[in-house]
Amino acid sequence: MSDEISTALIIGAFLAMVVAFIAGRALTHKPELGRRVYWGGWALAIPLFALGMAAPFWPNVVAAVSILGIASIGLAYVMTPYLTISGYTYTMQDRFRSGE
């Protein structure tokens, strides 16, 4: 893959991450839409970043995908009052145990 394409993919990934972060913060009046945009942005950013780093070392791709996946979950946990995964609610404060 050429350097120009790799650079474009990585820039696109960072733009998707920025949009996901801003949407997660700005759409507090519509939490469902904010969640969809946040996770959709990360779902787009991680593969774009992986494709941008694909050549020539695949271990770098595995590391990048792992780090970005952990970062997306960590940011969601810190930015929002609670995080629901598979029906279980994780929260830093007891008052948000029931979710929405």
pLDDT 10s digits, 2-59: 888 888 998 999 999 898 888 877 776 777 787 888 888 889 999 988 888 876 778 8
C-beta separation of 20 from 69 below 8 A: no
DSSP string, the chain: --HHHHHHHHHHHHHHHHHHHHHHHH-TTSHHHHHHHHHHHHHHHHHHHHHHT-SS-HHHHHHHHHHHHHHHHHHHHHHSSEEEETTEEEESSGGGTT--
| Cα 13 to Cα 4: distance, rounded to the nearest angstrom | 14
C-beta separation of 89 from 80 below 8 A: no
Residue 11's pLDDT is what? Answer: 92
pLDDT of 97 strictly over 70: no
Residue 66's pLDDT is what? Answer: 92
**Whole-model pTM above 0.75?**
no
Residue 8's pLDDT is what? Answer: 92
pLDDT 10s digits, 64-74: 889 989 988 88
